[in-house]
Amino acid sequence: GAVVSQHPSRVICKSGTSVKIECRSLDFQATTMFWYRQFPKKSLMLMATSNEGSKATYEQGVEKDKFLINHASLTLSTLTVTSAHPEDSSFYICSAQDRDRYGYTFGSGTRLTVV
Amino acid sequence: QKEVEQDPGPLSVPEGAIVSLNCTYSNSAFQYFMWYRQYSRKGPELLMYTYSSGNKEDGRFTAQVDKSSKYISLFIRDSQPSDSATYLCAMSVTGNNRLAFGKGNQVVVIP
């Protein structure tokens, strides 16, 4: 089945630094990748939608300069949290839509802790 | 009114019982309906998806969609402790790849 690899699974960084999270579709080409944020015991909050080779579309209230998304190829999208602050600590999850069939496959998530 | 409503639970059942989960929604344009399972500190995993109304069965899992009532259900038969997880419903409109999620329902199957 479709597999999405997300890396790192856990990261701790100092306030003010930047963190990059990678999302790769391993056995399919992803026309579209999504980035979500999930708070404890809450549902997934869509942050942005990215299509290969074009700029990401951000949801209302999500700072595009803070959460930089790059979708350079059909198998790789990255989310960079710039100048991270403790309030950015959260669980970030990517998902990818298979170009050839219906379905959304999620990565295993990244637990970001900003200290 | 939120697009998708789901009772967050938690729901505790003894091993072997039937687990019944449901979501209601307000957008009549939704055509694709999905159920995801999420274990703690992991990403969601697709369990079932259904297009439009009807039932779909896969092993111990049955998904039902009633578009006239804007109501979807997931049933888990012969529940196992390994079924303990959070179950999220999700749905989308044809031609729009954004998913609308429910809050998730935490299920605990007690051995």
Number of H helices, E strands in chain A: 0, 11
Interface touch B41/A109, C-beta < 8 Å: yes
User: In angstroms, what separates the C-alpha of A82 from chain B's closest C-alpha?
Assistant: 23
Q: What is the pLDDT of residue A51?
A: 86
**Nearest CB to B8; choose among A41, A95, A103:** A41
* Beta-carbon contacts of residue B39 (< 8 Å; ≥ 6 apart): B45, B85, B86
Interface touch A104/B45, C-beta < 8 Å: no
* Beta-carbon contacts of residue B95 (< 8 Å; ≥ 6 apart): none
**Nearest CB to B98; choose among A43, A46, A93:** A46
pLDDT beyond 90 at B53: no
Strand, helix or coil for residue A24: strand
B74 burial level (CB within 10 Å; 0-12, 13-18, 19+): buried
Interface touch A109/B8, C-beta < 8 Å: no
Q: What percent of chain B has pLDDT over 70?
A: 97
Chain B neighbors of A109, CB-CB under 8 A: 41-43
Q: What is the pLDDT of residue A84?
A: 96
**Nearest CB to A109; choose among B6, B36, B42:** B42
Alpha carbon distance B33, B35 (integer Å): 7
Local confidence band at A107 (pLDDT 50, 70, 90 cut-offs): very high
Interface touch B42/A108, C-beta < 8 Å: yes
pLDDT beyond 70 at A102: no
**Nearest CB to A6; choose among B36, B41, B43:** B43
pLDDT digits (tens, 9 = 90+) for A30-88: 888 999 999 887 788 999 999 887 889 999 999 999 999 998 888 999 999 999 999 99
Q: Which residue has the higher pLDDT, B104 or A41?
A: B104
> What does the pLDDT average to over A13-38?
93
* Substitution target from A6, A43, A98 for chain B, most B beta carbons within 10 A: A43
Interface touch A32/B97, C-beta < 8 Å: yes
